[in-house]
Chain A
């Protein structure tokens, strides 16, 4: 009986509360749907730039920052940057207000360009690694850090971030020349050939080393196949005695 009295007395109020809650739920659903759609658009945009999100295996933990996954070979590069695919020497200023020019092509060195900013969260790990003298990958002779120019960067922040052992050049022109789509971004320049051997984004220094090693292995494999093809076209097959001058192959 008590329950029935309660039902009879509060029914209009309960109905109103339920109606309000229903409206709130609908509004929240619309809001969540909008957020999911926005998130999907952002993911799609990053994906088009060659950046993917996900688990960062190198660190062994899930990261909320971009975990870019590729340093494509030069043959793939044009689809992932807006650069013209040629090597440009660098000219700009230093965080301390000096001038700096770095020659890249026609040289004996292979130079890794690291395009970093002072503000991006992922870049911080690279600044820290470079200040702590992180070893360069085997295929790299020197590292040059490239930031945007004075009008787009904080020189005081860069002075605190810059490593002593690597040059830091501030040049927005270089970002334009190499069509840098995101930061951090890396470009490997082969000095002797004056070509770009690989480029792409990465979230950790270890990942850069791993990707460069893979790119180098791919290049070596491609060279081996090219040499094999050249030999076959010349009528020289595997184990052909002419490949082993001075050896008695029976």
Chain B
């Protein structure tokens, strides 16, 4: 049996470690002529593109873009990684000035960085660009206390992500 499982779509590829799973889907486009506003977007009228969820627990089929529906079932060793792609108009803006997939440190995690605060959990949200594409990275740890153990695992998975040019 292979030790990794491939996940690929929308110009993003990840070799998931054993026990990890994920989904890449395209966020719903403009509805009734109104653009969808996305958290952290530089331009509130822009429309997001791909959403990538990877986790070391069973992801429920019904989830919000930033993991609602999944974070509620996370145990202390669980990790959820969300990559939320923004439109090309975001590339080059100050919010997405950081280049390359970030490497995170345990000290960056804070329970207050959660989209919705859940007891014991911890989060980190960071914006970056890679290969001419703009992303928001959002990571949730099942246990803030275990961040020293969990963050190196997060970085291993992040480094296995390949983003194709826009």
Q: Which residues in A have some Cβ–Cβ distance to B below 8 Å?
A: 86-91, 93-94, 96-103, 105-107, 109, 111, 141-142, 163-167
Contacts and interface: CB of A to CB of B under 8 A. Distances in A.
Contacts of B26: 96-98
B5 interface: yes
Contacts of A165: 61-62
B72 interface: no
Nearest to A104: B21
Contacts of B6: 91, 101
B130 interface: no
Nearest to A167: B61
Which of A87, A91, A111, A142 has the most chain B CB atoms inside 10 A of its CB? Answer: A91
Nearest to A109: B58
Would you call the interface of chain B mostly helix, strand, loop, or mixed? strand
Contacts of B8: 99
B118 interface: no
Contacts of A101: 5-7, 16, 20-23
Contacts of B16: 101, 103
Contacts of A111: 58
Nearest to A164: B62
A217 B57 CA distance: 28
B61 to A, nearest CB: 5
Nearest to A93: B9
Given A98-B9, A100-B7, 8 more contacts: A93-B9, A98-B25, A99-B7, A103-B5, A103-B20, A107-B19, A142-B58, A167-B23
A98 B6 CA distance: 13
Contacts of B57: 107
Nearest to A141: B58
Given A98-B23, A98-B25, A141-B58, A106 B7 contact: no
A109 B60 CA distance: 12
B63 to A, nearest CB: 11
14 contacts: A91-B7, A96-B26, A97-B26, A98-B9, A98-B25, A98-B26, A99-B24, A101-B5, A101-B22, A103-B58, A106-B18, A106-B19, A141-B58, A165-B61
Contacts of A105: 1, 18-19
A236 to B, nearest CB: 37
B39 interface: no
B44 interface: no
Nearest to A86: B1
B10 interface: yes
Nearest to B8: A99
B62 A91 contact: no
A103 B9 contact: no
A166 B61 contact: yes
